[in-house]
Amino acid sequence: MRDNMVRENNTVRPALVSPVGVTGDAVLHSVDFIRPRLRTTRRERVVLHAGVQINGAPHLGTNVLQTSAFLLADAVRERFGVEVSIRFGALDNVPYQSRDCPATGTRYERSYRDALGETGVRELVRRHYGALFDALSAATRVPYAVETYTEQQSAPAFREEFLTSLALMDTLRWVLAPSTGRVPVTLPCPRCGWAQRDADHTELLSAGFQEARYTAVCLDHGPYTADVTPDSGTRIGLTTLHRNLVKERVAAREDALPVIVKGADWAAGCRVVDEAFLHYPGALLPARVLTPVVLFDSGAKLSKTLIREGAAPREAAEPWMLDASLWDGTAEEYAHLLYDLVARMLSAPRHFERGYTLSEVARLIGRRRPAGGSG
């Protein structure tokens, strides 16, 4: 038998080839990283937090992360005997439309939530993820829920943590943005939903633990004032790292142990967020698990944006790898392929905490196209 093939359950399959991990025999399974936190907190429930994108059909890398969340949850339940669930966050505040001020060139953006409404956003989530998540949930017996960012940021706990972060911002801004110290907050116009992308003309007038007041400028409706309180309806847009800090601070309040699941490309971002956590009195760093990422052969993370910009060749991947909606089989077949692929990656930490090129993924799944289809 060739060195790059293995026999599993009487089936010859391509072998995973990964470097020796620095954790060695100290960590035998990737979920063991959360064992110390479970022992310290004595929690009987674990909630894994992961994300979904709604600005287009997901690619293979996105679905690998989400499949990893289901298999990780299953492993947590089996190894630690605790109740598990998954909470997916849908970023409905990502830009749907954009335009520039003709006088200043300032970029204004309108989010998916403002353009499509709650019903439209929910339909996008259902279309892109509903069948896949249902199939993975059935296969692992792990329940899941999808929560939009609009829902998250409207909760009093989120507002309270946001206001607390403002009170610490003199320090946090050099953690969350160590090169510039600038951590902008965007507040969409209450009349039309458009907001300045970089908050160029947004000013914080006052801030306290119960209220913050901002002024901002709308391209169509001029200056406006926005008050943020624990129970106000003002929507707030935060930078990626600031948003994740606040969300993880909220998750830490819950009775269940939160486990943050992100792709391995998030390692540098997690370092920043963890550093920010240390500036809160008595804070305990979040439990984290980093999942495999899918890469172009150049080593760049799989990204449809790179293809659109001409920085990566479209022919580097089969169409369904770039756009899951082009999979020419059933959702159950796609879920089975992902389940099998990720289960093999999860067989050892050295296989899980790494990147896989598209050509390597194609080798591991043993085909370039979905069964019975043209791809």
Alpha carbon distance 171, 68 (integer Å):
35
pTM over 0.85: yes
SS3 content of the chain, % helix, strand, coil (to 5): 40, 20, 35
Closest CA to 284 of 241, 254, 242, 263: 254
Burial 219-248 (b: 16+ CB within 10 A, else e): beeeeeebebbbeeebbbbbbebbbbbbbb
Which residue segments constitute the domains of the chain, with CATH numbers given?
A: 5-99+117-154+244-365 (3.40.50)
- Identify the three-state secondary structure at position 332: helix
- Identify the three-state secondary structure at position 77: helix
State the SS3 of 229-293.
Answer: CCCCCCCCEECHHHHHHHHHHHHCCCCCEEEEEEEHHHHHHHHHHHHHHCCCCCCCCCEEEEECE
Q: What is the DSSP letter of 130?
A: I
Question: φ and ψ at 159, to 5 degrees?
Answer: -60, -40
Distance of CA 102 to the CA centre of its chain: 34
pLDDT digit of tens for each residue in the chain (375 aa)? 344 545 455 565 788 878 777 777 888 899 999 999 999 999 999 999 999 989 889 999 999 999 999 999 999 999 999 999 999 999 999 999 999 999 999 999 999 999 999 999 999 999 999 999 999 999 999 999 999 999 999 999 999 999 999 999 999 999 999 999 999 999 999 999 999 999 999 999 999 999 999 999 999 999 999 999 999 999 999 999 999 999 999 999 999 999 999 999 999 999 999 999 999 998 889 999 999 999 988 888 888 778 777 777 777 778 899 999 999 999 999 999 999 999 999 999 999 989 999 999 999 998 644 443 433
